[in-house]
Amino acid sequence: MAQTTEFKKSLNVFGVVFLGLAWMTPMIFFTVYGVAFEAAGGMLSAAYVVAFLAIFFTAYSYSRMVKAYPISGSAYTYTKKALNPKMGFLVGWALLLDYIVSPIIACLTFGLFLNAQFPSIPVYVWIIVLNLVLAFVNIIGIKSAARVSGFSVIFQILFIILFCVFVAKDIIVGGDGMALFSMQPFFGNDFSVSTIFSGAALICFCFLGFDAVTTMAEETVNPRKTIPKAIFMIVSIAAVLYISISYLTQVAYPGFVFENSDTASFELVQMVGGNVLSALFTTVLIVAIFTQGVSSVTSVTRFLFALGRESILPNKVFGYLHPKFKTPVVNIVFVTIISFFSIAIDLDTAVTFVSFGALTAFTFVNVSVIFHYYVRNKKRSLKETFLYLVFPLIGACFIGWLLTLLEKQTLLIGVGWIVLGFVYIGIRTSLARKPETELRKGKVAVENR
């Protein structure tokens, strides 16, 4: 009997948390600051609270489903098992759009930031270098990826704490200690429910990453306990960081106006800490983007492995694990080649793809909890009704509504991607059935002789 190669279980809860936070990138608060500020009408704190509440219910649903199915595949596996294979494919195909574009975003952002610092070196050079480094780190093993991610996440959190200290100092110097406590950032004069929710729809992008760790279940020690715990830790840490920064900056600089939404964070950091903090900010941001790339490549290659193992994608290619490294080397090379498209794509288009894929997957994971626990396993006591019907239903409605708030162009592109997926699976299914059909025809011909 042929010996199969399996993933090596080496991740503990902190390794999973670091990989999830690295994928999420705590510094993303700054990279989307200007766009998010405009979308939320300046009420960033309130928008982050709303986004956290929406994500919390979805995070809960992910924690339930990974207990039921502690294997790679994330939303694809959960929907396929809880609903049906066709719906699972639909969700998996949408999620693939999210995962496969994430390394492109990392490479493109990395190239843009370093080109801004070193204009003589073209963007594409940085993209090529980062792509090759990401491939190397991921090929040699997930434990090395977790170690790199851990240092980066700690670095980012320390910078955010330092930034908050600078801002808090400005608040105290400008008033008194009690000025630190205000409800103005949540219920200001410009309070508008519709605007805040529109901002929350965009800000949900900042929480993406907690779901990616479910693709690492087969490389995690005791995944049924470790992954759910890590999911809540990731979402909670991110919420504390994002809400703290937005709250303090709104209290300290209520009249802050930036010239360009793309560079708003640089203007804010410059105002808060001058050239020294700005230089540190740039360094931390570049490191953060690098490790986001490491984690995103890890996630997408594991997801491709899950699709390959179940022959949604060609099994011999995407379902292969290297016997020595215990990593999906072919998938890593494939993602590296795809990521070279970051040389030709723009950042807005890439972010569009990610938002549609993630919110679609989130919606169906919430629905999967209802079908798996409440409908199929009949967990319907009063407590279980809240846990397996009410909570996931709130999450599904919340995320589904945020999905409708995306721009029409985003929704059209997303629907087009799903249609392409149905065409692909239709062709693949017909090819898979063809030998069987021909065999039956041959058998009938023999019988008729």
CA-to-CA distance for 189 and 233, rounded, in angstroms? 33
pLDDT for the residue 220? 85
Residues in CB range of 44: below 8 A, 6 or more apart:
36, 37, 185, 199, 203, 246, 249, 250
Q: Which residues sit opposite 220 in a β-bridge?
A: 11
AA identity, residue 248: L
How far apart, in Å, do the first and last CA atoms of the chain sit? 39
Q: Shortest CA distance to 279 belongs to which of 155, 130, 117?
A: 117
- Dihedral angle of Cα 339, 342, 345, 350, to the nearest 10 degrees: 70
The CATH homologous superfamily to which domain 13-406 belongs is: Amino acid/polyamine transporter I (1.20.1740.10)
* d(C-alpha 213, C-alpha 317), whole Å: 23
Q: At 448, which helix (H) or strand (E)?
A: helix 408-448
Q: Is 382 exposed, middle or buried (0-12, 13-18, 19+ CB in 10 A)?
A: exposed
Q: Which two tokens stand for residue 320?
A: 């292969």
pLDDT averaged over consecutive 10-residue blocks of the chain (449 residues)? 60 84 85 82 88 90 90 82 88 84 86 82 91 87 70 90 92 70 73 80 77 78 88 92 92 83 82 89 86 83 84 85 84 92 79 79 93 95 95 91 80 88 82 52 44
Strand blocks (E) in 237-348: none
Distance between CA atoms of 105 and 297, rounded to whole angstroms? 11
Q: Annotate 23-71 with three-state secondary structure.
A: HHCCCHHHHCHHHHHHHCCCCHHHHHHHHHHHHHHHHHHHHHHHHHCCC
| Residue 75 confidence (pLDDT) | 84
* 291 contacts 149 by C-beta, under 8 angstroms: yes
pLDDT at 2: 45
pTM of the model: 0.78
Domain spans in the chain, listed from the N-terminal domain onward? 13-406
Residue that the structure tokens 């069987």 belong to? 436
Taking CA atoms, 315 is separated from 229, 253, 311, 355, 418, in Å, by 32, 55, 5, 28, 22
d(CA 380, CA 135): 47
Q: Length of the chain, please? A: 449
